[in-house]
Amino acid sequence: MFTGHSAFPLTPLDDDILDEASFTGLIERLVAARVDSITALGSTGSYAYLTQAERSRVARLAVEHSAGIPVVVGVGALRTSQVLANISSAEEAGAAGVLLAPVTYQPLTADDVFELFRTATEYTELPVIVYDNPGTTHFTFTTDLYARIAQLPGIVSIKIPGVPADRVRARTHVASIRAVVPDHVTIGVSGDAYAAMGLAAGCETWYSVIGGTLPQLAQSITRAAVDGDVETALADSERLTPLWSLFREFGGSLRVVAAIAEELGLVPPRCLPLPIQGLGTEQRSRVAEVMRELDLRD
């Protein structure tokens, strides 16, 4: 469950209200693509903007429509008590695991973050994935902290940020993490532009933003890498350079993926939680142009 392709769907809103029909449609799309796992309420799922009740409902919808594909639920929140409440909701929904990010307003220390994971793993028997996403949480893990947390019972995977673009440096980076964490803890890569390189360098999982909306695309890259055809995986990712460039130009993947989903009619217009405005008209035209160029319309 903690290897292969884990797809991160959007949590679409319509007039600032959870659009259950669109969300379940995205989940059913992932089921049709036979992704290895579904991660609801990741950063792509805008978890930090939702109420506890909304998050509980999203978790239930994801599991109910997953057709047996394992569902991981993001449980990160500012306070530990809120994290534990989200874990309880994930358990009640029937989640197969939880994804925990150290969300912060005041800067967190390494000891703060370790205690968060210690408390979470003592609270639940569900497998816990460490979510290292400094671009959104503003906390940066060290390899030493990976090592400390990975020793906790229940930790099953670590989602690392994008790896170096150079293959030798990427392998060295992943190997340095693998050397300090137990064998049963998988290493997963995020940062879609670097996913193929991460898989080539020894990562076992791609925690994928684009896979939540265009699952077949991410599945094909992942399958090639897992089957040992690394050159094909890297070439297929290289073909998507115009898309990865939009991620960088427009301040990250969320707005671009939302625009793609809107362009495909999978979600309502302006589906992101306010105050996130999404892309402007000219930017959306750029996204549509790249979709045509890369034939990303299913």
- Give the pLDDT score at 111: 98
Half-sphere exposure of 148 (CA within 13 A, CB side): 14
Cα–Cα dist 202/228, whole Å: 11
- Per-domain residue ranges of the chain: 4-227
For the chain (298 residues), the mean pLDDT of every run of 10, in chain order, is 93 97 98 97 96 98 98 98 98 98 96 98 98 93 97 97 92 97 96 95 96 96 94 96 96 96 97 96 97 89
- Give the pLDDT score at 162: 87
Q: Where does the chain have alpha helices with state H?
A: 20-33, 52-64, 80-93, 110-123, 134-137, 143-150, 167-178, 195-200, 215-226, 230-239, 241-249, 254-263, 281-294
Task: Give this prediction's pTM.
Answer: 0.95
Its CATH architecture, for the domain 4-227, is Alpha-Beta Barrel (3.20)
- Give the pLDDT score at 297: 76
- Give the pLDDT score at 187: 97
